[in-house]
Amino acid sequence: MAKRLVIVGAGDGGVMLANRLASKGFDITVIDKSNKHYFQPWLLHIAFNGAKEKSIEQTKLLPKNSRFMLDTVKLVDLENRKIVLSNSEMDYDYVVVDTGSFGDYSKIPGHMQLYQEFGDFHSTTEAAQRLWKKASTFAGGKAIIGSTYPIFKCPPSPLEAAFLFEELTRKRHVRSQTQITFITPFPRAYPAEPMNEIVEPIMKERGINIVTFFDVESIDPAKHTITSLEGDTLQYDFAALVPPHVGAGIVKDFCDENGFVKTDKETLQIGNFDDAYCIGDATNISTSKSGVTAHLESKIVAQRLLGIDARFDGRTNCPMEVGGHKATFVIGSYTQPVVKLKPSTFNYFLKMGMKYGAWQTLRTKMDFVMDWYFARTDPAKLNAKLNKQKSS
């Protein structure tokens, strides 16, 4: 009898895993609380360029021989191989958790009101459209953009937001009346030093102020102020902040205090269970929470479920737009520092290409291109090349 594989969460990782295993003899069920799949990187362009949403029905991405269930998973009980849904329970032979990460606006007093007033570029289409309304009518004043807490998906996204907003103020001829401040809890604008050496000079050149070690403690929506744990207060007329992120917290006994699943960073197993895995943003692994990570992890878990001892090397490959039709990629791994890769127009078009190829990538139809690209941008090779150039 075919082994019953249940994938909890039809995120980027879950959809790719289902497609990878579609013809490998598994009986696949995919459960998601939403029947729509959103291309999340596009939220930035909805918020700062007024672009339209990019989404698709989950069943159009999943393989025909898999079963899609529209339901919310309440609990995954690994000891008893049980999945608890809204009104029922189910058993499995293998389970893979791919429930992603999302903003928790209750962690910072006042954040929910700020979110209701300004929206953001990190959660839903409606929130991004709300931000676009504010950004596209902003007449000048103090703008604050950044992250509130060190854990969030897509590490480059707050910087991308600052660059795109700055570009918008120039297009709208309100740049000279606008003061842009980028806040971050990290010691530098981008946490990885080699990438910071690339982005900080661009920020300075564009007149974006950087405030580091700014851990947001509270927001006062009436006074329009943001206060840090250190006691500093900043005034805003426009604010776009990434909220602290949490996981779904549904795996019994195996979630950390933020709801992320305790996952082995190489095998991607949950605890010592050889029938339970976690991929994508839902893990507590300290690598970047990104679609590319979910993509690469789905490959590892597919191989492991087929009996191959594949291991994840922590590879990241996050695009970062810096405005002016240029982008770089944050490329690194567990053993390789982030590559100091200069922004280029070529990389911008690669990033934009991801929008058009997104659904085919999730259906794993683009694997041959992606595999070639990942091999070409191997961080060990790129770092060796840069070091050679430096020393010659």
Ligand X SMILES: Cc1cc2nc3c(=O)[nH]c(=O)nc-3n(C[C@H](O)[C@H](O)[C@H](O)COP(=O)(O)OP(=O)(O)OC[C@H]3O[C@@H](n4cnc5c(N)ncnc54)[C@H](O)[C@@H]3O)c2cc1C
- Contacts with ligand X, residue ranges (CB under 6 A): 9-14, 31-34, 40-41, 43-44, 72-73, 98-100, 121-122, 153-154, 157, 248, 250, 280-282, 289-292, 294, 318-319
The least distance separating ligand X from the CB of residue 255, rounded to whole angstroms, comes to 12
Of 5 and 73, which has the nearer Cβ to ligand X? 73
User: DSSP class of residue 188?
Assistant: S
Of 54 and 224, which has the nearer Cβ to ligand X? 54
CA separation for the pair 47, 313 (Å, rounded): 34
Of 11 and 244, which has the nearer Cβ to ligand X? 11
CA separation for the pair 321, 202 (Å, rounded): 12
The least distance separating ligand X from the CB of residue 209, rounded to whole angstroms, comes to 22
The 3-state DSSP composition of the chain as helix, strand, coil percent (nearest 5) reads 35, 25, 40
The least distance separating ligand X from the CB of residue 140, rounded to whole angstroms, comes to 25
Q: Positive or negative, the Cα torsion across 120, 290, 192, 369?
A: negative
The least distance separating ligand X from the CB of residue 100, rounded to whole angstroms, comes to 3
Of 220 and 367, which has the nearer Cβ to ligand X? 367
Number of neighbours of residue 123 by Cβ within 10 angstroms: 17
The least distance separating ligand X from the CB of residue 74, rounded to whole angstroms, comes to 7
Number of neighbours of residue 309 by Cβ within 10 angstroms: 8
Of 44 and 208, which has the nearer Cβ to ligand X? 44
CA separation for the pair 260, 349 (Å, rounded): 33
The least distance separating ligand X from the CB of residue 231, rounded to whole angstroms, comes to 30
Gyration radius of the chain's alpha carbons: 21
Please state whether 284 falls in left (phi above 0), alpha (psi between -120 and 50) or beta. alpha
For residue 264, give the amino acid letter: D
Of 126 and 187, which has the nearer Cβ to ligand X? 126
